Amino acid sequence: MSLNLEQYVSEFSAQNIDGEHLLQLDGSKLKALGMTSSQDRAIIKKKLKEVKASLEKARKAQEKMEKQREKLRKKEQEHLQRRSKKTGKFSSDATEGSHEQ
Question: DSSP letters along 8-35, please?
Answer: GHHHHHHTT--HHHHHT--HHHHHHTT-
pLDDT of residue 30: 94
pLDDT tens digits for 17-62?
A: 988 898 999 999 999 999 999 999 999 999 999 999 999 999 999 9
**pLDDT value of residue 83:** 85
Query: What mean pLDDT comes out for the span 73-96?
Result: 76
* This model's pTM is above 0.75: no
pLDDT score of 94 more than 80: no
Instruction: Indicate the fold that domain 7-61 takes in CATH.
Output: DNA polymerase; domain 1 (1.10.150)
- The full set of domain ranges for the chain reads 7-61
Q: Is pLDDT at 99 greater than 80 in this prediction?
A: no
